[in-house]
Structure 1
Amino acid sequence: MKLGIIAAAIFAAASAVMSPLAAADHKDGKAAPLVIGHRGAPGYLPDHTLEGYALAIELGADFIEPDLVATKDGFLIARHEPNLVDTTNVSQLPQFANRKRTVMIDGFPQEGWFASDFTLAEVKQYIRAKQPLADRDQRFNGKFAIPTFDEVIALAKRKSDDVGRTIGVYPETKHPTYHQSIGLALEDRLLAALSRAGWNRRDAPVFIQSFETANLRYLNRKTSVRLIQLIDANDINADGSLDFTAPYDRPYDWTVAGRTGLFKDLVTPAGLAEVKTYADGIGPWKPYIQSWTSAALLPPTNVVADAHKAGLLVVPYTFRNEASRMPPPFGGVPVREYIRFYELGVDGVFSDFVDTAFAARAMFLLATDSNYDECLTATRKCDRDFD
């Protein structure tokens, strides 16, 4: 019983003090890191569903992350990729068998069924989400509808009222060059949705992210909403160095424009200074901050310190609980990984299991901030940010 009371106190106090905008202030490097529900709560429910987003919020997420693609009639829906084959039941629907085709996306052929070949009405009536990872729970396949971006925003607002704290949205424009090439550019549609919600403003609980750069530069001219440059790589080599095999080697708009260079160039001091001209932060794959081999963690890099020096937030991805999806040196204990990255000064984390990220954050703050300890044990409600 006592453990339950302590856990409830931690959740209530942490929820009260951790504004989802706290890390964005970055006043002295001590802001509490954000917990972002990566695609909702995909460790438990299928990606990008209202049910998954709602669960992530109940488990402690400050932000929920919808990846955005466009339907044939120009509506933004939440799917990880334009190709629906891995995350929906579309391949099992005989009425759509003739829509299977091969499409070039970022210079590589993909076979499947594509969001841009379906109207929103068709998506809503027939297509349902499924769990794309075979080793995760498959019981909910086919049960949940595909949400629009407007519905995701509405959910965030409604749940903010329910849980008594502001829930933000962290949308990603998926393959923006591809969408532009088929006449379904994402950026203005995204901004229109934010405007309908009253969230197309600097102080809104919104971050927009992209692996490409040109669309972020465009958005920088069109909105004051905060922008995040995502930074990718293909894999980790045996020695812990990053592998840059295409198409995960560089922003695709660089390839189209004939610009040379790799994603790693964006985390050099010069690259970070360039990012600062159009964005507010970076979202690097975790090994950019601290990589690993099968036996050990490598020394941390200067990416966090250099980004903060440039005035940029740092929010790495993606944290998962399964031992097979964690760096081996953490011994299959996910809390250790979260706490390590919190110690390295990141401003937030993308997690498939936000309850674990939330608990690890509480542990980290208990260990590093005596005021947080006092807050948890006080009878009054704490109402300040840790910054």
Structure 2
Amino acid sequence: MSPVIEKPLAARVQVIAHRGASAHLPEHTLAAYARAIDDGADFIEPDLVMTRDGALVSRHENEISGTTDVAAHAEFASRRTTKTIDGVAVEGWFTEDFTLAELKTLRARERLPELRGTAHDGLFPVATFAEIVALAAACGRTVGIIPEIKHGTYFRNIGLPMEDALLDALAAHAYTRAAPVEIQSFEVGNLKYLDGERKRRGMANLHLLQLLGESHEQPFDVVAVGGALDYAAMTTPQGLREIAAYADAIGPSTRAVLPLTQDGRLGAATALVRDAHATGLEVHVYTLRPENAFLPPALRDGDDLHQRNEAGSLAEMHALLDAGIDAFFTDDPALGRKAVDGRGASAGK
């Protein structure tokens, strides 16, 4: 076991259900969120995009051919198109070309069918953010909600800005006026705007998470104005101090905290957790998944990349807990709960 090099800032490490219990059910569906709640998640995570009529819906991307049955709907065939999203040409069907009523005629599909099968395809509709809030509010315990604004600059440029719509949706429900809420974005400008708005509106329960991509990548709102800032600069001590001026946490990848050695093992922790904590920022890492394909080679069980490997996933979680993280995103919140609660029990002995 790796030595503890940093204690979390959080009083209790939080288990975040990545798009719901998406290791078991199609992501971003009410069924996946309900299972995540039953499995003990502290937070559920809806990625948010917008419909043509301004509804916030939960999809990982605004292009929906991979996660719905839209291609099977002849009535929507003419809406297949190619768009440039964050500088990349993408072909398919896009949420902003559909009304909410039209999207509700579609059914969700498994995004990783080769790993997780298709047994639940066609069973569940696209969920709205309002429905997810209502589900959390009715679950009988306090479950946080951690929405991510997807492609904020893109949606703003087509006349569908999400930031105020999300704040208004949070303010409209008694549950999200009091329960833990944390808004995420890979962009910077919208988080700075949200920081100002949460203070102006008195939203004391609202926290902000600055997501971090690969070191060489840039936030797209920076790209859009020809800026030079990249994620590498944002993870320096100075960059982290600048983030701490508007956000409460950073969201790096697991490998930014625990890089791999040449032989595929988890290496020593980087300075990122320690440096972030020194500025008062929590560290919420993404994403833990239970299949061999997503695990460090040294933690895999056999050569079948499709195989579910609970022991390997728990080992990776434990190593991240040892590194002092404050929260982690996982496709299998039941495993996450086991890792956190088991570590707490061991620490108490």
Residue 28 of structure 1 and its aligned partner are, at CA, apart by 7.4
State whether structure 2 residue 284 is matched by structure 1 residue 315. yes
Task: Give the distance between the partners of 1:152 and 1:346, measured in 2 at CA.
Answer: 27
- 1:180 alignment counterpart: 156
- Conservation of the 8 A alpha-carbon contact between 2:8 and 2:324: no
SS in 1 for 2:242: helix
- Conservation of the 8 A alpha-carbon contact between 1:66 and 1:149: yes
SS in 1 for 2:221: helix
- 1:220 alignment counterpart: 195
Residue 200 of structure 1 and its aligned partner are, at CA, apart by 6.0
Task: Give the distance between the partners of 1:230 and 1:200, measured in 2 at CA.
Answer: 22
- 1:100 alignment counterpart: 80
Residue 102 of structure 1 and its aligned partner are, at CA, apart by 0.3
Matched letter for residue 229 of structure 1: Q
Task: Give the distance between the partners of 1:215 and 1:69, measured in 2 at CA.
Answer: 15
- 2:313 alignment counterpart: 334
- 2:4 alignment counterpart: none
Task: Give the distance between the partners of 1:29 and 1:270, measured in 2 at CA.
Answer: 19
Task: Give the distance between the partners of 2:76 and 2:300, measured in 1 at CA.
Answer: 45
Task: Give the distance between the partners of 2:55 and 2:267, measured in 1 at CA.
Answer: 44
Matched letter for residue 173 of structure 2: A
Task: Give the distance between the partners of 1:319 and 1:215, measured in 2 at CA.
Answer: 26
- Conservation of the 8 A alpha-carbon contact between 1:199 and 1:205: no
2:170 to 189, 194, 197: 194
Task: Give the distance between the partners of 1:193 and 1:219, measured in 2 at CA.
Answer: 14
Task: Give the distance between the partners of 1:60 and 1:200, measured in 2 at CA.
Answer: 19
SS in 2 for 1:366: helix
Residue 258 of structure 1 and its aligned partner are, at CA, apart by 1.5
2:15 to 5, 23, 35: 35
- 1:51 alignment counterpart: 31
Residue 198 of structure 1 and its aligned partner are, at CA, apart by 3.0
1:289 to 253, 257, 279: 257
Task: Give the distance between the partners of 2:339 and 2:171, measured in 1 at CA.
Answer: 35
- 1:18 alignment counterpart: none
State whether structure 2 residue 138 is matched by structure 1 residue 158. yes
After superposition, what is the alpha-carbon deviation per residue over 1:262-305, rounded to whole angstroms, capped at 9, x for unaligned?
21221110110010111011011111101114432222101111
Task: Give the distance between the partners of 2:60 and 2:10, measured in 1 at CA.
Answer: 32
- 2:146 alignment counterpart: 170
State whether structure 2 residue 207 is matched by structure 1 residue 207. no
The RMSD of aligned alpha carbons is 1.6
- 1:120 alignment counterpart: 100
- 2:348 alignment counterpart: 369
Give the count of matched residue pairs: 326
State whether structure 2 residue 239 is matched by structure 1 residue 271. yes
Task: Give the distance between the partners of 1:150 and 1:369, measured in 2 at CA.
Answer: 40
- Conservation of the 8 A alpha-carbon contact between 1:292 and 1:329: no
Residue 30 of structure 1 and its aligned partner are, at CA, apart by 6.5
- Conservation of the 8 A alpha-carbon contact between 2:10 and 2:326: no
TM-score by length of 1: 0.81
Task: Give the distance between the partners of 2:218 and 2:126, measured in 1 at CA.
Answer: 30
- 2:229 alignment counterpart: 261
State whether structure 2 residue 117 is matched by structure 1 residue 137. yes
- Conservation of the 8 A alpha-carbon contact between 1:199 and 1:206: no
Task: Give the distance between the partners of 1:264 and 1:106, measured in 2 at CA.
Answer: 19
State whether structure 2 residue 327 is matched by structure 1 residue 348. yes
TM-score by length of 2: 0.90
Task: Give the distance between the partners of 1:46 and 1:79, measured in 2 at CA.
Answer: 11
1:231 to 209, 212, 215: 212
1:67 to 22, 47, 56: 47
- Conservation of the 8 A alpha-carbon contact between 2:16 and 2:330: yes
Matched letter for residue 243 of structure 2: V
Task: Give the distance between the partners of 1:109 and 1:200, measured in 2 at CA.
Answer: 36
- 1:374 alignment counterpart: none
Task: Give the distance between the partners of 1:51 and 1:29, measured in 2 at CA.
Answer: 32
- 1:343–1:30: structure 2 CA closer, same or farther, 3 Å change rule? farther
After superposition, what is the alpha-carbon deviation per residue over 1:50-82, rounded to whole angstroms, capped at 9, x for unaligned?
000000111110110000000000000000001
SS in 1 for 2:250: strand
SS in 2 for 1:316: strand
Task: Give the distance between the partners of 2:296 and 2:167, measured in 1 at CA.
Answer: 37
Task: Give the distance between the partners of 1:268 and 1:30, measured in 2 at CA.
Answer: 22
- Conservation of the 8 A alpha-carbon contact between 2:137 and 2:175: no
Contiguous gaps of at least 5 residues in structure 1:
1-26, 234-241, 371-387
Matched letter for residue 136 of structure 1: R
- Conservation of the 8 A alpha-carbon contact between 1:44 and 1:137: no
Task: Give the distance between the partners of 1:200 and 1:78, measured in 2 at CA.
Answer: 17
* Structure 1 ranges of 4+ moved more than 6 A: none
- 1:30–1:99: structure 2 CA closer, same or farther, 3 Å change rule? closer
Task: Give the distance between the partners of 1:34 and 1:120, measured in 2 at CA.
Answer: 32
- Conservation of the 8 A alpha-carbon contact between 2:8 and 2:325: no
